[in-house]
Amino acid sequence: MANLCISTLILLSLLPIVCLSFSTESPTDRRILVLLDDFAIKSSHSIFFKSLQSRGFDLDFKLADDRQIALQRYGQYLYDALILFAPTTEQLGGSLDLADVLDFVDSGHDLILSADVNASDLIRNIATECGVDFDEDPSAMVIDHTSYALSDTEGDHTLIASDDFIQSNVILGSTKIEAPVLFKGIGHSLNPANSLVLKVLGASPSAYSANPNSKLSNPPSLTGSAISLVSVVQARNNARIMVTGSLDIFSNRLFKSGVQKAGNSNKHEKSGNEQFVTELSKWVFHERGHLKAINVRHHKAVETDEPSMYRINDDLEYSVEIYEWSGTSWEPYVADDVQVQFYMMSPYVLKTLSTNQKGLYHTSFKVPDVYGVFQFKVEYQRLGYTSLSLAKQIPVRPFRHNEYERFITAAFPYYGASFSTMAGFFIFSIVYLYNK
């Protein structure tokens, strides 16, 4: 019995530590499945893979046609993210197919997809489902006779030097990428019906997509700034996807290559590929731009406990704490555009939340003079950040019969009319009865 009591006390003492460990849990993906066309890619792209491993990721390398491939077992996913470096694979191994990859993303997991020249229909179909359409010509490449990378040999201008980056510190980090990114591969366009896909690295206005080994017989289908070289998607479930048409963009060769853009006298000893890919992978794997909201509270202005309902015209206070994952810990998120709605069919109240710069957002307002079932709603969407969707339902009742004021100021004229009528009737009665 004594041992049981001691064990219970030990468990109770450890409870706060357990709760703390859950509250500081990392949102980043730790188990990553890497599917390759050839194991040679593991060495030719080793710098990229080592950067992931140095940040604490556990990479599991497999050939794309390996029969033992499985994303889940007994209904549980074995991996948190998928890197698909198998542009020519027509069919994935095991029981894995297009639907399984899409279900993986639909379940909130992340994906890096790299195509290349002669990309298979499987890779193209996955990209299409993500809102990205590669050039239909399987042998087409992005060609640019203005913004190409200078080299010892003139070449066919398919090695592009691009510095058309998305302007977002959340996605690409706060350190500016000084050197252009080298790109050699196929271009793609963004599906205009998909509002979730973003161009991260674009081609110059002089670029076009065509077969470099044949003459153009028809105008190219993709031209100019409509060509995207690298794109990202953040799904509504906050799963993140990166799509590019070049496997070489991740390679050691282009990481270490110097770069000089045609028409530019500045020569960089090292391309921007390593910094670009590393920073973008941090965003894709939720090391940056991941928000969480906790301690959503509301109560009457003069109280501290959350009520079961409000009365019309009550003064209330609303608060929520929002934090951002910095890669190692949760830090207070600071912004001035977080809003709360007091909502029933449409927002009756819309208030911008004030912040104490330490993660706490708060506001106060008066309950509208309308009763029914309302919701506190926070719908926060900002470029590069995971979206927040918070909702708390609360009923609002009218005044009870004994809660109204005894005398209503607005009714004073009616009170005066009533009493004056009674007084007049009394005087009239006295005069009528006792006047000769």
Q: 325-360, pLDDT tens digit by residue? A: 988 889 999 999 999 999 998 899 999 999 999 999
Average pLDDT across the chain, whole number: 87
CATH number at residue 377: 2.60.40.1930
Q: How confident is the model at residue 179 (pLDDT cuts 50, 70, 90)?
A: very high
Taking only the tens place, the pLDDT of each residue in 196-254 is 999 999 999 999 998 888 887 788 888 888 999 999 999 999 999 999 999 999 999 99
Whether residues 267 and 371 share a domain: the answer is no
For 45-83, what is each residue's pLDDT tens digit? 999 999 999 999 999 999 998 888 888 888 899 999 999
Say what the pLDDT of residue 153 is. Answer: 53
59 and 134 housed in the same domain: yes
Indicate left, alpha or beta for 78 from its phi (over 0: left) and psi (-120 to 50: alpha).
alpha
One domain, residues 278 and 375 = no
Alpha helices in 107-181 (DSSP H): 121-129, 169-172
Last residue of a domain, one of 284, 299, 323: 284
Residues 114, 243: one domain?
yes
Residues 131 and 209 in one domain: yes
Residue 159 lies in a domain: yes
Q: For the chain, how many structural domains are there in total?
A: 3
* pLDDT confidence tier of residue 5, bands split at 50, 70 and 90: very low
The whole-angstrom separation of Cα 423 and Cα 407 is 20
Q: What is the pLDDT of residue 43?
A: 93
Contact between residue 206 and residue 227 where contact means Cβ atoms under 8 Å apart? no
My answer on whether 312 and 379 are in the same domain is: yes
Does some domain include residue 3?
A: no
**Claim to verify: residue 55 and residue 132 sit in the same structural domain:** yes
Is residue 340 situated within a structural domain? yes
Distance CA 321, CA 296 (A): 7
**Encoded tokens for 295:** 């301690």
Domain C-terminal end among 284, 306, 325: 284
* Residue 39 belongs to domain spanning: 25-284
152-171: average pLDDT = 84
* Residue 230 lies inside a defined structural domain of this protein: yes
More confident residue, 4 or 364: 364
pTM: 0.83
Whether 12 is covered by a domain: the verdict is no
Which CATH number covers residue 181? 3.40.50.880
Residue 25 has a pLDDT of 66
Start-to-end C-alpha separation, the chain: 104
Examine residue 176 and state whether it is found in any structural domain, yes or no: yes
pLDDT reported for residue 123: 93
User: In terms of domains, do 116 and 183 share one?
Assistant: yes
Is 4 part of any domain? no
Beta strand extents in 141-290 (DSSP E only): 141-144, 160-162, 164-165, 181-183, 188-190, 197-202, 207-210, 228-234, 240-244, 259-260, 267-268
- Residue 1, pLDDT > 50, answer no
Do the domain assignments include residue 383? yes
pLDDT at 264 over 60: yes
- Of 239, 269, 284, which residue sits at a domain end? 284
**Do 46 and 178 reside in the same domain of the chain?**
yes
Q: 300 and 199: one domain? A: no
Assess whether 137 and 245 both reside in one domain: yes
Same domain for 225 and 299, yes or no, is no
